[in-house]
Amino acid sequence: MDAIKSWAMTVCFAALAAGMAGMIAPKGNLEKVYKFAISLFFLCCVLVPLFKIKNINLDFKISSSSTQQTSGIEKTISDQTVSQAQINIASLVKETCIKKGTTPLSVNAIISINSERLIAVERVDVILKKTDVGKKSDLTSAVKNELGIEITIKEGEN
Protein backbone atom coordinates (compact mmCIF):
# COMPACT_ATOMS: atom_id res chain seq x y z
CA MET A 1 0.00 0.00 0.00
CA ASP A 2 2.90 2.34 0.74
CA ALA A 3 4.22 1.75 -2.76
CA ILE A 4 0.94 2.91 -4.28
CA LYS A 5 0.87 6.01 -2.07
CA SER A 6 4.45 6.76 -3.05
CA TRP A 7 3.62 6.30 -6.71
CA ALA A 8 0.55 8.55 -6.45
CA MET A 9 2.57 11.28 -4.74
CA THR A 10 5.26 10.99 -7.40
CA VAL A 11 2.66 11.37 -10.15
CA CYS A 12 1.15 14.43 -8.41
CA PHE A 13 4.50 16.13 -7.91
CA ALA A 14 5.58 15.27 -11.46
CA ALA A 15 2.33 16.70 -12.85
CA LEU A 16 2.84 19.85 -10.80
CA ALA A 17 6.46 20.21 -11.92
CA ALA A 18 5.56 19.50 -15.56
CA GLY A 19 2.72 22.02 -15.44
CA MET A 20 4.94 24.72 -13.97
CA ALA A 21 7.67 23.97 -16.49
CA GLY A 22 5.06 24.06 -19.27
CA MET A 23 4.09 27.60 -18.29
CA ILE A 24 7.63 28.85 -18.87
CA ALA A 25 8.08 26.94 -22.13
CA PRO A 26 9.88 29.00 -24.77
CA LYS A 27 8.07 29.97 -27.95
CA GLY A 28 9.57 29.31 -31.35
CA ASN A 29 12.00 26.65 -32.52
CA LEU A 30 12.67 25.10 -29.11
CA GLU A 31 9.02 24.83 -28.06
CA LYS A 32 8.48 21.30 -29.42
CA VAL A 33 11.76 19.99 -27.98
CA TYR A 34 11.05 21.55 -24.60
CA LYS A 35 7.52 20.13 -24.43
CA PHE A 36 8.82 16.72 -25.51
CA ALA A 37 11.37 16.81 -22.68
CA ILE A 38 8.64 17.71 -20.18
CA SER A 39 6.43 14.88 -21.47
CA LEU A 40 9.31 12.43 -21.26
CA PHE A 41 10.06 13.56 -17.70
CA PHE A 42 6.41 13.07 -16.70
CA LEU A 43 6.26 9.66 -18.38
CA CYS A 44 9.40 8.51 -16.55
CA CYS A 45 8.01 9.75 -13.24
CA VAL A 46 4.87 7.70 -13.85
CA LEU A 47 6.53 4.51 -15.09
CA VAL A 48 9.70 4.14 -13.02
CA PRO A 49 7.89 3.56 -9.68
CA LEU A 50 5.71 0.93 -11.38
CA PHE A 51 8.82 -0.96 -12.49
CA LYS A 52 10.06 -0.95 -8.90
CA ILE A 53 6.79 -2.50 -7.71
CA LYS A 54 7.03 -5.40 -10.15
CA ASN A 55 10.82 -5.72 -9.79
CA ILE A 56 11.26 -5.13 -13.49
CA ASN A 57 14.82 -4.38 -14.44
CA LEU A 58 15.61 -1.63 -16.96
CA ASP A 59 19.13 -2.69 -17.98
CA PHE A 60 20.13 -1.60 -21.44
CA LYS A 61 22.86 -3.49 -23.27
CA ILE A 62 25.25 -1.55 -25.47
CA SER A 63 26.03 -3.32 -28.69
CA SER A 64 29.62 -3.89 -29.73
CA SER A 65 29.25 -1.56 -32.72
CA SER A 66 28.19 1.24 -30.35
CA THR A 67 31.19 0.48 -28.18
CA GLN A 68 33.48 0.66 -31.22
CA GLN A 69 31.94 3.95 -32.28
CA THR A 70 32.35 5.33 -28.77
CA SER A 71 35.97 4.19 -28.75
CA GLY A 72 36.56 5.94 -32.07
CA ILE A 73 34.95 9.13 -30.80
CA GLU A 74 37.02 9.04 -27.62
CA LYS A 75 40.21 8.60 -29.66
CA THR A 76 39.28 11.53 -31.90
CA ILE A 77 38.55 13.72 -28.89
CA SER A 78 41.80 12.65 -27.26
CA ASP A 79 43.78 13.43 -30.44
CA GLN A 80 42.13 16.83 -30.77
CA THR A 81 42.80 17.60 -27.12
CA VAL A 82 46.48 16.76 -27.51
CA SER A 83 46.72 18.82 -30.69
CA GLN A 84 45.08 21.86 -29.10
CA ALA A 85 47.22 21.54 -25.97
CA GLN A 86 50.36 21.42 -28.14
CA ILE A 87 49.31 24.59 -29.94
CA ASN A 88 48.46 26.38 -26.69
CA ILE A 89 51.67 25.44 -24.91
CA ALA A 90 53.79 26.35 -27.93
CA SER A 91 52.00 29.71 -28.05
CA LEU A 92 52.61 30.36 -24.34
CA VAL A 93 56.29 29.48 -24.65
CA LYS A 94 56.63 31.71 -27.71
CA GLU A 95 54.95 34.61 -25.88
CA THR A 96 57.31 34.18 -22.93
CA CYS A 97 60.31 34.21 -25.27
CA ILE A 98 59.03 37.37 -26.98
CA LYS A 99 58.64 39.05 -23.57
CA LYS A 100 62.33 38.35 -23.04
CA GLY A 101 63.21 39.99 -26.38
CA THR A 102 63.71 36.85 -28.46
CA THR A 103 61.49 35.54 -31.24
CA PRO A 104 61.98 31.80 -31.68
CA LEU A 105 62.12 30.30 -35.18
CA SER A 106 59.88 27.47 -33.98
CA VAL A 107 58.39 25.98 -30.85
CA ASN A 108 57.37 22.32 -30.76
CA ALA A 109 55.55 20.87 -27.74
CA ILE A 110 55.40 17.09 -27.32
CA ILE A 111 52.37 16.15 -25.22
CA SER A 112 50.61 12.92 -24.27
CA ILE A 113 47.53 11.82 -22.35
CA ASN A 114 48.14 9.14 -19.74
CA SER A 115 45.81 6.37 -18.60
CA GLU A 116 44.05 8.68 -16.10
CA ARG A 117 43.36 11.08 -19.00
CA LEU A 118 45.75 13.67 -17.65
CA ILE A 119 47.76 15.75 -20.11
CA ALA A 120 51.51 15.45 -19.63
CA VAL A 121 54.07 17.70 -21.27
CA GLU A 122 56.90 15.41 -22.29
CA ARG A 123 59.17 18.13 -23.70
CA VAL A 124 59.19 21.47 -25.47
CA ASP A 125 61.80 22.16 -28.14
CA VAL A 126 62.59 25.77 -29.01
CA ILE A 127 64.72 26.65 -32.02
CA LEU A 128 66.43 30.04 -31.86
CA LYS A 129 68.44 32.13 -34.30
CA LYS A 130 72.21 31.81 -33.93
CA THR A 131 72.33 35.38 -32.64
CA ASP A 132 69.82 34.60 -29.85
CA VAL A 133 71.42 31.39 -28.54
CA GLY A 134 73.34 33.47 -25.98
CA LYS A 135 70.04 34.15 -24.21
CA LYS A 136 69.47 30.42 -23.73
CA SER A 137 69.77 30.37 -19.92
CA ASP A 138 67.57 33.46 -19.47
CA LEU A 139 64.85 31.98 -21.68
CA THR A 140 65.00 28.58 -19.98
CA SER A 141 64.63 30.10 -16.52
CA ALA A 142 61.91 32.55 -17.64
CA VAL A 143 59.78 29.75 -19.14
CA LYS A 144 60.39 27.57 -16.08
CA ASN A 145 59.36 30.40 -13.71
CA GLU A 146 56.32 31.60 -15.67
CA LEU A 147 54.94 28.32 -17.02
CA GLY A 148 56.61 25.61 -14.94
CA ILE A 149 57.83 23.90 -18.11
CA GLU A 150 61.34 22.71 -18.92
CA ILE A 151 62.38 23.61 -22.45
CA THR A 152 65.18 22.44 -24.71
CA ILE A 153 66.76 25.17 -26.79
CA LYS A 154 68.47 24.36 -30.07
CA GLU A 155 70.30 26.56 -32.52
CA GLY A 156 68.62 26.98 -35.86
CA GLU A 157 69.81 28.28 -39.17
CA ASN A 158 70.34 32.02 -39.63
pLDDT digit string, tens, across residues 12-43 = 887 888 778 777 777 777 788 888 888 888 78
Amino acid at 92: L
Helix (H, G, I), strand (E, B) or coil at 113: strand
Helix (H) or strand (E) holding 3, with range, is: helix 2-23
Number of domains in the chain: 2
Same domain, 81 and 128: yes
84 and 43, same structural domain?
Answer: no
The pLDDT score that the predictor gives to residue 125 is 92
Asked if residue 126 is part of any domain, the answer here is yes
In a domain, 58, yes or no: no
* Residues 17 and 82 reside in one and the same domain: no
**Distance (Å, rounded) from C-alpha 87 to C-alpha 81?**
10
Spatial CA neighbour of 109 closest among 126, 96, 132, 95: 126
State residue 67 phi and psi, 5-degree precision: -65, -40
pLDDT for residue 119:
81
Higher pLDDT pick, 78 / 65: 78
pLDDT tens digit string along 118-131? 888 888 999 998 88
Q: Specify whether 49 is located in the same domain as 100.
A: no
- With cut-offs at 50, 70 and 90, classify the pLDDT of residue 1: low
* 30 and 94 co-located in one domain: no
Residue range(s) defining the domain that contains residue 112: 77-155
pLDDT higher for 70 or 32?
A: 32
Rg (CA), the chain: 29
Please check whether residue 31 lies inside any domain of the structure: yes
The secondary structure of 139-150, three-state, reads HHHHHHHHHCCC
48 and 93 assigned to the same domain:
no
